[in-house]
Each structure stands twice: as C-alpha cells, then as structure tokens.
Amino acid sequence: MIRMNRRDSLLVAAASVAGSLSAAGPVLDIIDCHTHFYDPSRPGGVPWPGKGSSLYRTVLPRHLREQKPHRKVTGTVIVEASPLVGDNDWLLDLAKDDPFIVGIVGNLNPDDPMFANHARRLARNALFRGIRVNSGLLKGDIPKERIASFRLLAELDLALDVNGGPETPGLLAGLARAVPGLRIVLNHIGNVEVTGKAPPAGWLAGIRSAAERPNVWCKVSALVEGAARRGGKAPTDPLFYKPCLDAVWTAFGDKKLIYGSNWPVCEAAADYEAMQKISMDDAASRGMAALAGFCSLNAKDAYKWIERPGRL
C-alpha cells in the first residue's frame, strides 16, 4: 500500500481538479497571500494608508472578490500594515465569518515589552498565522531580546514576514541561521526594481543566500510595482519580468515560492488581471507541480493557513 503525505495528497487533488479547463487554463486552488484590508471610516480611522492617497477608501474582502482575475482566487492570507495592536483584532473579527480568509499575518513590534503577551493572545486564534516586520530590524547585531521574540514566534508555530529593500534577502539568511525553527517569508522578492534586464548582483547574491536556508520562502509579489517605479503603468510583456522570475525560481525551486498580489497597492501599476497573469503564466510554464505549489501548497507549508468549511 502506498502512503502519501499531505502535500502529495494535495497535489493529486490539484491534478484531478485540473481536468476541468477554462479559457485561462486549469482550475486551481489559488490563495492570494498578500492582500491589505482596512476601513478609514472606523472610529479613530487608520494609520495607513494616508488621507489623499488613492488607497484611502474602505477595502474589504468583497472588493477583492469583485476584481476580474486571470485565474479565480479561492482564498487569501491578509497582511496587516497598521502598527496598532487592535487592528490585528479587527482583521480577526473580519475573518470570523468569511471562509475566504484563511490566515492573517499581523503586525506586532518585537521590541514591545508586551510582545509576548500580545503574540500568545492572538495565537490562540488559529487564523492568526504570523507577523510582519521591516528588514531594518534585522540589520547589524540583533539584540537578544528581539531574537527571543522571534524564537517565541517559532514556539507558537507562527511565521515571520519581512519587508524591505533589495538588501533584505541577505539579511534574512542571517536570521534564518540564528532561529532555524522560524518560518520566514521574504515579501515582494525583496522589492528589487524590475527593469527587463539582469537584476542587480547584490540582490541576486542575497536571494541565493536566503534560498539556501530551509526555513525561508519567497513571496512573488509587487512585480508590477517594481516595474513601474519610473512612472506610468507596468509593462504587460511577460518577457520583461523573466530575468527576475528566473532568478527566484532557480534559487528557491518549486516548493518555496508563494503567490501574492499586494492588492490594492498593485492597482497603481496594473489591474488585478494583468498583474496576476504575469506570475501565473510564468509558474504554469514550469509545470503542473510548480504551478500548484505556487498557487497554494507552498503557502500551506510556510503559513500553515487554515482550511475552512464553505471556502470552495
């Protein structure tokens, strides 16, 4: 009798689902692992985005579901951008009755004396899957108290998202060595500028260094933002993105790359359909196993997102 692990079982399920074809290709379980939701009309407002920004409006899961996709999104892991502790609770409350939400990456300050209390309390909710920090916290000699906070995340079976500039991948490698039990997710492929040409050598070295660590994943998100830094909309030609995409796929392989949209932030550079098509078509060109992993299975390993009745 052949026994399959959970990932193999999910791959078989994905392959069977793929027998149903649409104009966009096989039907897949697609978890968008980088979305932001907020409501400026709440009492007290929101610290992000700022007034005057095109993002300054109520953005909820139903608004994401209203976007025209290249491939249908079947769930999301939300990333909290607000530093207010109470906004983590607001997202958990938002998720309570919406099975579309399969996880929340919160926002807590690892240097806060109350960090352990906040982390333990929030982790009691299974939908709370980790926190995000800025890569500035990983520079230089990391204080032992901060390392202790990161170790607590590992003890609580939570992940750490890290956002920052092109130096971020290299910084992640050091933390991954210091806290090998902590699952770490690089956000936005390190926010490298996408130029259509070979990526910078320093960023590439950092990507390779991070990918060597078994506890580091990379979120393929913010590609169009990286391609539109000089103004206007991002190119839609997939070949424009190939040098950067080839670099992360070569380094991380089929089991460590995660799909994320960075919606609604990405809409300044491209609509959801155009943005999604770039990374999805590229993943599809690498084979069914790579595509299924990219869409949801790799994120299951990194975040341990929660399957919820009624989601599909």
Quote the pLDDT of residue 23.
43
Are the beta carbons of 143 and 131 closer than 8 angstroms? no
Does residue 17 surpass a pLDDT of 80? Answer: no
Q: What span, in angstroms and rounded, lies between the C-alpha atoms of 56 and 38?
A: 9
Quote the pLDDT of residue 3.
52
Assigned CATH class of 6-15+28-303: alpha beta
- Spell out the alpha helix ranges (H) of 144-267: 144-155, 168-178, 201-211, 223-227, 242-252
Does residue 210 surpass a pLDDT of 80? Answer: yes
Quote the pLDDT of residue 312.
85
Does residue 82 surpass a pLDDT of 50? Answer: yes
Instruction: Indicate the range of 17-26, 80-89, 213-222, 296-305 predicted with least confidence.
Output: 17-26
Closest to 218 measured CA to CA, from 121, 140, 283: 283
Q: Quick one: 43 exposed, middle or buried, by C-beta within 10 A (0-12, 13-18, 19+)?
A: exposed
φ, ψ dihedrals at 41, nearest 5°: -80, -5
Does residue 192 surpass a pLDDT of 60? Answer: yes
Indicate the pLDDT class of residue 27, thresholds 50, 70 and 90. confident
Average pLDDT of the chain, as a whole number: 93
Are the beta carbons of 261 and 224 closer than 8 angstroms? no
> Average pLDDT in the 206-210 region?
98
Closest to 70 measured CA to CA, from 241, 275, 262, 259: 275
Kindly state the tokens that stand for 305. Answer: 């997102």
| pLDDT tens string 247-265 | 999 999 999 999 999 999 9
Quote the pLDDT of residue 25.
56
Determine the distance from the C-alpha atom of residue 100 to the mean position of all C-alpha atoms in its chain, rounded to a whole number: 16
Q: Tell me the β-bridge partners of 132.
A: 161
Kindly state the tokens that stand for 185. Answer: 């997710």
Q: What span, in angstroms and rounded, lies between the C-alpha atoms of 190 and 169?
A: 6
Does residue 14 surpass a pLDDT of 80? Answer: no
Closest to 75 measured CA to CA, from 295, 242, 251, 289: 295
| pLDDT tens string 115-172 | 999 999 999 999 999 999 999 999 999 999 999 999 999 999 999 999 999 999 999 9
Neighbours of 206 (CB within 10 A): 23
Read off the pTM. 0.92
Quote the pLDDT of residue 7.
60
